[in-house]
Amino acid sequence: MKQLSRLQLEGFRSIQHADIELCPLNVLIGANGAGKSNLIDFFRMLNYALTRGFQSPYLSDRGPASHILHFGAKRTPLIHAELKFRSDTGNNFYRFTLAHVRRDDTFIFTNEEVQYHTDGRAAPTPPIPLGPGGHRESGLSEQWNQQETTVSFIKKLIGG
């Protein structure tokens, strides 16, 4: 069984902080403005990031980066996310931080990494960075890292 089992998200649109345990079937219920559509839009953003479409069309279609941050760039300068995927042999993690760039009101990935933790082991494998930091598109979309098993596995899970 391979599935997204947990999402931690901070600073994205109306979502100041969310820590959500996920099951094979999930139903979003809430009042208008509670963040249901923004949660769906977060997954849409990930889909664009997989294909080097984060800056354009995703960001260019949704307005400046400052409008995607929770209460704007002055209050929330970063978006941080961690996705945990459960597989048959352990847990896979994808983490990233997006920082607001004031001069052109866009984002850069200041940190992006994947990690695997095998069941039964005391410590996970060391995180694998997806680029040096400061890049405008996701490292998951780059071809150089596709030889790394954890990277390609997580890319397939996010794409699914």
- Round the average pLDDT of the chain to a whole number and report it: 92
Residue 38 · residue 12 · CB < 8 Å: yes
Domain around 123: 3-159
Residue 22: CATH number of its domain = 3.40.50.300
Residue 45: predicted pLDDT = 95
Q: pTM for this one?
A: 0.93
Give the pLDDT confidence score for residue 149 in this predicted structure.
85
Which pLDDT score, from 0 to 100, does residue 31 have? 93
Residue 144 has a pLDDT of 59
Predicted confidence (pLDDT) per residue in 126-138, tens digit: 999 998 889 999 9
Query: What is the amino acid identity at position 120?
Result: G
Number of domains in the chain: 1
- pLDDT per residue as tens digits for the range 26-59: 999 999 988 999 999 999 999 999 889 999 999 9
